[in-house]
Structure 1
Amino acid sequence: MTQTTNRFFDEIGRLMNDAAGAAQGMKREFDTVVRSQAERILRDLDIVKREEFEAVKDMARLAREENEALKARIAALETKLGGTGS
């Protein structure tokens, strides 16, 4: 009886182990499908990537700084020439 009980529990353990492995495989497959679908949807929506957004944001900041410097330079030149400036 002890031998039969141990074999029974061994088989149950093996079955549970196989089921856990199958469940992990299904989870990986599900994650892959969901990720690929999400990437496809985002690609179709033509959403800007974070890196591209940050690059354009930096370009805009630099352009604003250059614009302010040029405004100050023009104002100084107008003052030097005796212009009124706006």
Structure 2
Amino acid sequence: MTQQNRLFDDLSRLMTNAVGVAQGARDEAETAFRGMVDRWLADRDFVTREEFEAVRDMAVKARTENAELRAMIEDLRRPERPDNGATPVG
């Protein structure tokens, strides 16, 4: 009976070690794949989401400022009327 228990213990240890090795190999493969994808993306000059959002925010701000400046210019281009609303005689 102890012989059989020892055999099961050895088999259990062997399987546990095999699972550990397989897990380590999987982790190594994932790390290598991620590194390969990161290098591929870096070579293509893709922008990150943070960079894209920062530029988008700057564009929205610039458009808003342009609209405000356009309104100010239009106000300055309008001829001024006298207080009574009558057109000046000239």
Using the size of structure 1 for normalisation, the TM-score is: 0.89
Q: Which residue of 1 aligns with 2:64?
A: 65
Q: Which has the higher contact order (CA 8 A, sep 6+)?
A: 1
Counterpart of 2:25 in structure 1: which amino acid?
Answer: M
Structure of larger gyration radius: 2
Q: Distance in 1 between matches of 2:47 and 2:79?
A: 46
Q: Find the aligned partners of 1:10 and 1:65 in 2 and give their Cα distance.
A: 73
* Structure whose residues are more often helix by fraction: 1
Matched residue, 1:21: 20
Paired residue total: 81
Give the root-mean-square deviation of aligned CA atoms: 1.2
Q: Secondary structure at the match of 1:9?
A: helix
TM alignment of 1:65-84, pairs within 5 A: 65-81=64-80
Identity value in percent: 47
Shift of 1:81: 4.9
Normalising by structure 2, what TM-score? 0.85
> Structure 1 runs of 4+ off > 2 angstroms?
none
> Gaps spanning 5+ residues in structure 1: where?
none
Structure 1 CA distance, aligned partners of 2:80 and 2:7? Answer: 102
Give 1:11's aligned residue: 10
Distance in 1, Cα, partners of 2:79 & 2:56:
35
Distance in 1 (alpha carbons) for counterparts of 2:17 and 2:80: 88
